[in-house]
Amino acid sequence: MKKDIVKVYLLQLLTVVVSFLASIFMTRILGSEGRGSFAIYSNASSFAVILFGFSIASTIPYYLNFKKISAEKIFFTSLSVLFCNLFLLILSIGLISYFQHTNFIIPEDKLLYKVVFVAFFLFQLVYSILITLLNAYKKFIWVGLLNIFNIAIPFIFYCLIYFKIFDIKQEQDFLAVILFLLAAIIGSTGIGFYLFVRVSKFKFSFQLMSLLEAKEFILYSMLAYFGNIATFICYKLDFWVVDAYQGKAALGVYSLASQLTQMLWILPQTMASILYTYAASASEKEALQYTITLKKIATLITLVFAAIGMLLAIPLIPVLYGNEFEPTSKLLAIQIIGAIPFCIPTILASFYASRGNFKISFYISVFVSLISMVLYFTFIPMWGSKGGAIASSCTYFLGAFISEYYFCRRYQISPKDLYSFSKKDIVFVKSFFAKK
C-alpha cells in the first residue's frame, strides 16, 4: 500500500500541475463572468452525476471484495441502472426548461448546450464506474495516468485557443471549453474500458445480477447516495447562492478561490481511494492502523502545502489570472482555514465505507449540510463572496470536528494518538521511499 500511495501521489501532483495550468488558460479565455458561467455548468453537472447516478460507484469495491460478485455483473447492472436514470435526467432538463430556469445549469437555453450536458453526464458516470473498478483491482497507476489524460486534453486545446492557433470567436469560447471537456471524457472512458477489459478478463456476455442481488446492491448504494447529496449541499451549494446574490463575475472570482483551495485535498483523496480498497479486504485492526497513520500524514502535509500555497497565491494570482481576480487571495485565505482539517473526514469516510458503515458518513453529512445551508443563506446575502468563504470554512471545520469526535468515541481512540507521531508512524513514513 505504501508504494502505491507514493506513486499515485506523484501522479496526482502532476495532475494538480496540469489542472492548475489548465485553469489559468481557461480563466484567461473566459474572464471572470465566463468563469462564473462555467462554475454553474460544472456544479450542475456534478450534481446531476450524484443525483441520477445513485452513487453506484461508491459500493463497487465492497461488492467486488466482500460479496464476490463478478465484475461483469457489476458493470452491466450499473450500466442498466445508469441508462434508466438517463431518461430521468432528460425529463428533468425538460421541466427546468419549461419553467425557464435553465440558468441554474447552462448559460443559455439552447439545444446544443443541453445535448452536451446530457452526453457529459453519461460518459462521466461510466468513467467513474470504470475508475472505481480499476481501483478495486488495485490498478492505481493506470487510474492516475488516465486522470492526467482527462485533464491534459482540454489543457492542450485551451493553449491552442489562447495563442490564437484556433480562431474562435469570443462568444463561442464557453461552448468550445465544454466541448473540449466532453471530448476528453469520451476518450478517457474508451481507454478506461480497454484497461478494465484487460485487467478483469472481461466477458462480453451481458451478465446481470439476480433480482435479489440487484435490489440489495441498489439499496446498499442508497445510504452513500443520500450522504453524497448532503455532502454536495455542504460544499457546493454556495456557488448557486453567490450567483443569485452577487452575479456571474463575482462567482467567477469565488469559484477560482474554491478550486485553488480544493487542490489541498489531492493527497487526502489519493490516500482515501487507496485506503478504501485495502481496508475493505483487511481486518478491522489493520484498517484502523492504516486510517490513523494516513490521517496524520495527510494533515501534516496539507498544512505545509497550505502555508506555501498561501504565500505564493498573494503575489501570483493577479499575474497569472489577471487583475480582476486579485480578490481571490483574500477568499482563499479564509477558505484554507477550514480546508486544512477537511482531510480528516475525507480519510475517515473512506474507512467507514470500506467497512460497510455508510450510515456514519450519511448522518454526519446530513447534519453538516443543514448547518451549511443556514450559513450560506445568512452570510452570503450579508457579506457577499466573503460571507460565502466564511460559511464554507466553518462548514469544512464542523465536518472535520464531528467526524473525528465520532471516530474517537466509536473506536476508543485518544485524540492525542491522532496527532502525535509514534515510532511506528515514523517507520511507516520512512518506508514510503524505501527501496523494495
pLDDT of residue 66: 63
Q: Which residues contact 111 (CB under 8 A, 6 or more apart)?
A: none
Please determine, for residue 344, whether its predicted confidence score (pLDDT) is greater than 50.
Answer: yes
pLDDT of residue 429: 52
Q: Which residues contact 52 (CB under 8 A, 6 or more apart)?
A: 85, 86, 88, 89, 92, 121, 125
Mean pLDDT of 385-409: 92
pLDDT tens profile 408-436: 988 888 877 777 776 666 665 555 444 44
Rounded Cα distance, 363 and 226, in Å: 10
Please determine, for residue 334, whether its predicted confidence score (pLDDT) is greater than 90.
Answer: yes
Please determine, for residue 216, whether its predicted confidence score (pLDDT) is greater than 80.
Answer: no
- Buried-exposed string 179-208: b where 16+ CB fall within 10 A, e elsewhere: bbbbebbbebbebbbebbeebbebeeeeee
Mean pLDDT of 310-328: 92
pLDDT of residue 426: 64
Mean pLDDT of 193-202: 85
pLDDT tens profile 289-316: 778 888 888 888 889 989 998 998 889 9
Q: Print the domain residue range for 157.
A: 2-433
Is residue 427 a contact partner of residue 419, using CB atoms and an 8 Å limit? no
Q: How many CB atoms lie within 10 A of CB 94?
A: 11
Side-chain-facing half-sphere of 267: CA atoms under 13 Å: 22
Please give the share of the chain, as a percent, with pLDDT higher than 90: 39
Least Cα distance to 264 among 228, 230, 313, 298 occurs for 298
155-164, 269-278, 319-328: the lowest-pLDDT one: 269-278
Q: Which residues contact 254 (CB under 8 A, 6 or more apart)?
A: 39, 238, 239, 242, 246, 331, 385, 388, 389
Q: Which residues contact 286 (CB under 8 A, 6 or more apart)?
A: 279
Q: How many CB atoms lie within 10 A of CB 108?
A: 11
Cell for 99? 419553467
Q: CA of 88: how far to CAs of 55, 97, 108, 425, in Å?
A: 15, 14, 21, 48
pLDDT of residue 77: 82
Report pTM. 0.86
pLDDT of residue 433: 41
7-11, 23-27, 343-347, 369-373: the lowest-pLDDT one: 7-11
Cell for 45? 453537472
Q: Which residues contact 339 (CB under 8 A, 6 or more apart)?
A: 261, 262, 264, 265, 302, 306, 393, 396
> DSSP readout, 48-77?
HHHHHHTTHHHHHHHHHHTS---HHHHHHH
Q: How many domains does the chain have?
A: 1
pLDDT of residue 268: 83
